[in-house]
A and B are shown apart, each in its own frame.
Chain A
């Protein structure tokens, strides 16, 4: 592992006078304690939204997708917008757990568990949109190249939509394995602390018989590294392939080569915003301020600012190249985005995604919890509108002006979307009461180098013998 020596100018990642046992107690507390009133209120709201969504989906399945606002010209609208939005949000988890692991960023350890959980929950939401858009979701397995007796019916390997099926199912499985592997020692910790036989039984099943022996740890570290290596390309591949859904077509506004990396940047952008939204609340509710510090929020804000700037650069590049190309259709597509009937959604996208993250240049704002929370929500509104702008404004002006239409969502569209938000929060709230929400085993590995307590101890030691510690 990386060096235990840390420069004095680095701020501690675990603040307060915490020792190793305190970490265990603090992480186990939300699981072992009882839910408070706020939790029940939020859970009830989320559950109600979820059930409303279930109703709308049932109506869709029973009646058909004609209940949605999609029409002949705008054949794809809220369903695909929501799909891309949720998949995008799911990106931060893998980025934090895999890419930041490879870059040896110690601050990831306080947030990776929840970010990965969020990833898995949001990918589940995303997957529902294509499935229910099929109209007959019980035939969803037809998207898999299964050997069949359907005659000439076989998946189209030339279609990016099929690549999506593979990309997202790979992503979901690798994320799940990665998440669960990290959870093993922490589940075992909960198992060992459990007082009732039932909880002990449950946590011993989910911890797969973790024993805590040196051999377990060695295998754990090896598999983490291998999974990080496997997951890193997935950070790029998933949203790249989602972008191919649009970019391989010849629709002006969709067919542009910058789409793959710009979708990836946008996904990380929205994913980190969602992590900020969730963790700013969770650190407060679950008393984890010592682990998820202002510095963590600041660093996530910086990533939001950087990815926001990359996305902004891509928007401007698209606009400029559309003009530069000299292709009238291309020029019109972008002019129509900015000044056509959907100008307001373009303006929202620009303001939320390009302008709002730039305020993070001010240290005062990016270390303010309130401001971070507001911006994190603004960013996700902006990112929803980005997908809406790309999808609906590019489609609604068809090649034939006689086919020009507008898109009008129905209450079913809205209900399905609200339902997924409800479902997402139901899952996340249940998770926050039953899972160790901080990777405590990993946090303990950085206590010596990066906690306030040990930093102080080391400083005193350093003053005594006037030399830097030489441990590796």
Chain B
């Protein structure tokens, strides 16, 4: 049995407290009205250098244009209409547009703390969902190498319950209008937006929440059931529970392949309500499953370093690292497929998505490809390297940061636009959810023996040698 060390527990609490402070600071300092925004924009341009003040103003107007042309935000689209209508009186139009721009930036800056919380909440929840899916795959495939890691995976999946509850609350707050991450929830926007009106049969508050509740409920149900039969198998005298876990895993995977795609359209793709990509669901899956395998490897290495998991040898670590490598390549494959096809075809309804990202998120957008593809591949390609703790931790850290940025790139452009930066809110959110994650996961791991001793494949796993 593992005991949750007080040191790690304290560490997790510190992370949560610091995180809450960061989040609180970001909410507190968010602008309240357009005057604040004007001050912020002025100070931003001040940084560019006073000598270019005129140029800065010009830049400002250009910014508005960029937003009009490329942002998925319907407010911007409405602004474009206004611009057309007042085309005769250029000056008036410019003033209008300026006020409109300020309002737009205000909303983006007010969204920013919410978006920071949302990205981190989603990221950690999906990590535990990914670990659960990986666990289900291991069970359904009757894998012989991994049963010594089952309790680690079960522990990580324990975070699904609090994680899903938090994400669900954030979605409810969105539907109630407390934040504006999802523009399609705004009735005024929908009233002026022909495209969103066409989707309102699907994108509407009640149906959106029903779907979320159904999916989260289904995942949590499987998680609780799988954990129960897995523990029951420890004390059983036959393999009945093992068979049950096989069947449950297969059924869950069917539910998962459907719910995962829809989840990604709902909670991520719909922040850009005009944009669509059929690959999106699988792309999101690749992103969180590689993060999940990385977390499994890191938690395993931590427990191993504390003297637990005696049967886990370097071959198990090697295989986990191989999955980190393989899923990194798989993620890149899907990233490339989606990006290349849209870039190559270059049709307006799709390309705006990447134009926004390349123009305003250039560094995170291409930086994440380096972090999620180039570095993991170079670091993990060597067989011997995959067995070294520090290498796996190094590659894992890069992968986790890279995929956080991936989720950041998926949410931020539509919610905060070009007003993004990684500040107290974003880092605070990461720390808070990391603390909560550590606390929940290690509490769960400490509640059951670390070896699924009566699993009929456990001997194979103990003797696993590659």
Give me the interface of A with B, judged by CB distance under 8 Å: 2-3, 5-9, 104, 233, 236, 240, 244, 247-250, 255-261, 309-310, 313-314, 317-318, 321, 324-327, 468, 470, 472
Contacts and interface: CB of A to CB of B under 8 A. Distances in A.
Nearest to B195: A326
Given A261-B337, A325-B349, A313 B261 contact: yes
A324 B254 CA distance: 23
Nearest to A325: B276
23 contacts: A5-B459, A5-B463, A6-B460, A7-B459, A236-B333, A240-B337, A244-B341, A247-B341, A247-B345, A248-B341, A250-B347, A256-B278, A257-B278, A257-B280, A258-B279, A259-B278, A259-B341, A260-B333, A260-B334, A261-B282, A309-B257, A326-B274, A327-B349
Contact of B279 (A261, A324, A327): A261
Nearest to A258: B278
Contacts of B281: 317
B134 to A, nearest CB: 14
Nearest to A250: B345
Contacts of B333: 236, 240, 260-261
Nearest to A254: B345
A468 B195 CA distance: 66
B464 interface: yes
Contact of A9 (B276, B345, B349, B456): B456
Nearest to B338: A257
A328 B416 CA distance: 30
Contacts of A468: 459, 463
A259 B347 CA distance: 17
A257 B338 CA distance: 5
Contacts of B334: 260-261
B337 A257 contact: yes
A159 B137 CA distance: 38
A248 B344 contact: yes
B465 A257 contact: no
Contacts of A236: 333
Interface string B239-251: 1000000000000
Contacts, number: 96
Interface in B291-346: 329, 333-334, 337-338, 340-342, 344-345
Nearest to B258: A313
Majority secondary structure, B binding face: helix
Given A8-B456, A247-B345, A258-B282, 9 more contacts: A9-B456, A233-B329, A247-B341, A249-B345, A256-B278, A258-B279, A260-B279, A313-B261, A321-B277
A3 B345 contact: no
Contact of A324 (B276, B341, B460): B276
A323 to B, nearest CB: 8
Nearest to B322: A102
A470 B333 CA distance: 41
Contacts of A258: 277-279, 282
B457 interface: yes
Interface residues of B, number: 39
Contacts of B98: none
A314 B199 CA distance: 20
Contacts of A3: 460, 463-465
Contacts of A325: 276, 349
B28 interface: no
Contact of B460 (A5, A244, A247): A5
Interface SS majority for chain A? loop
B276 A321 contact: yes
B144 interface: yes
Given A261-B334, A472-B465, A7 B144 contact: yes
A30 B280 CA distance: 50
Contacts of B261: 313, 317
B315 to A, nearest CB: 9
Given A9-B457, A236-B333, A324-B202, A472 B463 contact: yes
Nearest to A105: B141
A256 B257 CA distance: 19
B457 A7 contact: yes
A6 to B, nearest CB: 7
A324 B463 CA distance: 51
A260 B195 contact: no
Contact of B278 (A7, A244, A318): A318
Contacts of B278: 256-259, 314, 317-318, 321
A309 B261 CA distance: 14
Nearest to B197: A326
Contacts of B199: 324, 326
Nearest to A4: B463
A313 B257 contact: yes
Contacts of A260: 279, 333-334, 337, 341
B198 interface: yes
A65 to B, nearest CB: 28
B147 to A, nearest CB: 10
Please list the 8 inter-chain residue pairs (A to B) with the smallest Cβ-Cβ separation, ordered nearest first: A258-B278, A257-B279, A260-B337, A5-B463, A472-B465, A258-B279, A325-B276, A326-B198
Interface string B48-69: 0000000000000000000000
B387 to A, nearest CB: 16
Interface string B355-372: 000000000000000000
Most interface-central of B254, B337, B349 (chain A CB within 10 A): B337
A244 B459 CA distance: 46
A259 B338 CA distance: 9
